[in-house]
Amino acid sequence: MRFALIVEIAKALMMARIKQTMVAAVGVTFSITMFIALLGFMNGLNDLLDGLILNRTAHVRFYNDIKPNEEQPISLSEEFKGFYNIVRSVKPSVSRVSIHNNQAIIRTLKEDKRILGVASKIAVQAFFNVGNVDIPAVLNGIEVEEENRLFAFSDYVVSGNFMDLHYTSNSIILGKGAADKMMAEIGDYVQVTTAQGNRLLLKVVGYYQSGIGELDNLQSYVSLATAQKMLGETSSYITDIQVKLYDLDLSPALAKEYRSMFGIDADDIQTVNAQFETGSNVRSLISYAVGITLLVVSGFGIYNILNMMIYEKMDTIAILKAIGFSGKDVRNVFISIAVSIGFFGGLMGLFFGFLACLGIERIPFETEALPTIKTYPVNFNPKYYVIGAVFSLVTTYFAGFFPSLKASRVDPVEIIRGK
Distance CA 290, CA 89 (A): 53
Give, for all 419 residues of the chain, the pLDDT tens digit. Answer: 467 777 777 777 777 777 877 877 888 888 888 888 888 888 888 777 777 667 778 889 998 877 666 666 666 777 767 777 777 766 666 566 788 888 999 999 999 999 999 999 998 999 998 888 888 999 999 999 999 999 888 888 888 899 999 899 899 999 888 898 898 999 999 999 998 888 999 999 999 987 777 778 888 999 999 999 999 888 889 999 999 999 888 888 999 999 988 888 898 888 777 666 666 677 777 777 877 777 777 677 767 776 776 666 666 667 777 777 777 777 788 788 888 888 888 899 899 999 999 999 888 887 666 666 778 889 898 988 998 888 888 888 887 777 777 777 766 666 565 55
Distance CA 191, CA 150 (A): 30
pLDDT confidence of residue 310: 67
Distance CA 209, CA 17 (A): 60
What is each CA distance from 296 to 30, 200, 301, 356, in whole angstroms? 12, 66, 9, 21
C-beta atoms surrounding 238 within 10 Å? 26
Q: At 418, phi and psi to the nearest 5?
A: -70, -35
Nearest one of 302, 304, 313 to 410, comparing CA atoms = 313
End-to-end CA distance of the chain: 31
Strands (E), 90-239: 115-130, 133-142, 157-160, 171-175, 189-194, 199-208, 219-223
Domain residue extents for the chain = 2-54+276-418, 60-85+94-271
Burial level of 31, CB count in 10 A (0-12/13-18/19+)? buried
What's the predicted TM-score (pTM) here? 0.68
C-beta atoms surrounding 203 within 10 Å? 15
Nearest one of 118, 78, 126 to 244, comparing CA atoms = 118
What is each CA distance from 306 to 30, 315, 329, 343, 350, in whole angstroms? 19, 15, 16, 16, 24
Distance CA 222, CA 173 (A): 6
pLDDT confidence of residue 23: 79
Nearest one of 34, 29, 41 to 349, comparing CA atoms = 29
- Provide the β-strand partners of residue 375: 364
Distance CA 326, CA 320 (A): 8
Characterize the bridge pairing of strands 219-223 and 133-142: parallel
Nearest one of 334, 270, 233 to 61, comparing CA atoms = 270
Distance CA 349, CA 29 (A): 4
Does residue 183 contact residue 157 with C-beta atoms inside 8 Å? no
